[in-house]
């Protein structure tokens, strides 16, 4: 089946550092990618949707200058948490879908646990 690889799986860094998380679709072309944030014992909250070659669409309340999303190719999207602070500590999950249509399945990465000291 379709595989989405997310890297790194865990990162611990100091406050003020910028952190980049990569999301790759390994065996299909992901026209659309999604980035989610999950707090402990809570549901997944969509942060942004990105289509290859165009700017990401951010959900209300998500700071686009804080969470930079790049989807430059059909197999790679990156999320950069700029000048991270302890409140940015969370579990981040990416998801990829082939095509723009809603009837295409959505495949999830294994997530990245970000801890800011």
Partner 1 sequence: AQTVTQSQPEMSVQEAETVTLSCTYDTSESDYYLFWYKQPPSRQMILVIRQEAYKQQNATENRFSVNFQKAAKSFSLKISDSQLGDAAMYFCAYRPRGAGTASKLTFGTGTRLQVTL
Q: Which residues bind partner 1 (CB under 8 A)?
A: 32, 34, 38, 42-44, 46, 49, 51, 57, 91, 93, 95, 100-103, 105-106, 108, 110-111, 113
- Residue that is written with structure tokens 């290859």 in the block: 52
CB atoms within 10 A of CB 21: 24
Coil, strand or helix at 34: strand
- Contact criterion met (CB below 8 Å) for 79 and 35: yes
Query: Would you state the structure tokens that stand for residue 87, as one six-digit string?
Result: 């409140």
Q: Specify the residue, 36 or 78, whose C-beta has the smaller distance to partner 1.
A: 36
Q: Specify the residue, 44 or 68, whose C-beta has the smaller distance to partner 1.
A: 44
- Least separation in angstroms between CB 96 and partner 1: 12
- Least separation in angstroms between CB 38 and partner 1: 8
- Least separation in angstroms between CB 16 and partner 1: 26
Distance CA 104, CA 87 (A): 34
């Amino acid at each position: 089946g379709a595989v989405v690889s997310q890297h790194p799986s865990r990162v611990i860094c100091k406050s003020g550092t910028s952190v980049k998380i990569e999301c790759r679709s390994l065996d299909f072309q992901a026209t659309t990618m999604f980035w989610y944030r999950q707090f402990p014992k809570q549901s997944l909250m969509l942060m942004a949707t990105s289509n290859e070659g165009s700017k990401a669409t951010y959900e209300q309340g998500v700071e686009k200058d804080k969470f930079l999303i790049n989807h430059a190719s059909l197999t790679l999207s990156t999320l950069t948490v700029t000048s991270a602070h302890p409140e940015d500590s969370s579990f981040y999950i990416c998801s990829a879908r082939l095509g723009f249509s809603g009837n295409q399945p959505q495949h999830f990465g294994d997530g990245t646990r970000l801890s800011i000291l």
